[in-house]
Amino acid sequence: MDKQQNSELVTRHPSLGEGLGRHCGIFVGSFNPFTIGHDSIVTRALPLFDRLVIGVVGDQVHKPDMPSAEERINAIRELYKNEPRIEVKPYYGLAVDFAKAEGAHFIVKGVRSVKDFEYEREQADINRQLAGIETILLYAEPHLSSISSSMIRELQHFGVDITPYLPKRK
C-alpha cells in the first residue's frame, strides 16, 4: 500500500464521518514527569493526525505530591511550542469525555509490556463501548521500554541525574 492509498484509507475510516480528514487524536496521562518515552509516542503519533491534543490529568487524587497540572502543562507546551498541530490542555474525568470535548475520534496510548497491553486493551474496549472512541496502541521503542515516570521519580529521589530521560525541545 502506498502513502496515498494509506491516506485515503485513513480519511475514509467510518468513525471519522464525511469530510473530516485525518482529524484529531488525544494522548493523555499524568506525565509526572513527561519522559523521552512519552515524547517518542507523540512524535510517532503526530503523522497520523491533523491535530494531537496532549491531555494532562488535572486532578491529583492518586498522586498528591506531583507538580501542579499547570506546571506539567507549561513544561510540555515548551517542548512543542514550534509544532502547531500539538495542543496541551488539562483534563478531568474520563479520557473518552475529553476526547469527545476535543472532537477526537482516537485515543493514543503507549505500550511497553504485555502488562500494559492487557490494561490498555480493556480500556480500549470500554472506550469503544462508552463513546465509540477507538484506541491506537503504539509500542515503545525497545531502548525506551523500561522507562517510566515512576522509575524516573525514584531515581530523582535518590539524587540520580534524570536529564537523560527527559526530552529536549524540538
Q: What is the pLDDT of residues 116-161, one digit of tens each?
A: 999 999 999 999 999 999 999 999 999 999 999 999 999 999 999 9
Higher pLDDT, 124 or 66: 124
CATH 3.20.20.70 fits 20-165, yes or no: no
Stated length of the chain: 170
What value does the mean pLDDT of the chain take?
Answer: 88
For the whole model, what pTM was predicted?
0.85
Q: To which H or E segment does residue 123 belong?
A: helix 114-131
Q: If DSSP codes are grouped into helix, strand and coil, which group holds residue 117?
A: helix
Q: If DSSP codes are grouped into helix, strand and coil, which group holds residue 135?
A: strand
Question: Residue written as cell 512519552?
Answer: 38
Q: Terminus-to-terminus CA distance in the chain, angstroms?
A: 31
Q: Is 23 left (phi over 0), alpha (psi -120 to 50) or beta?
A: left
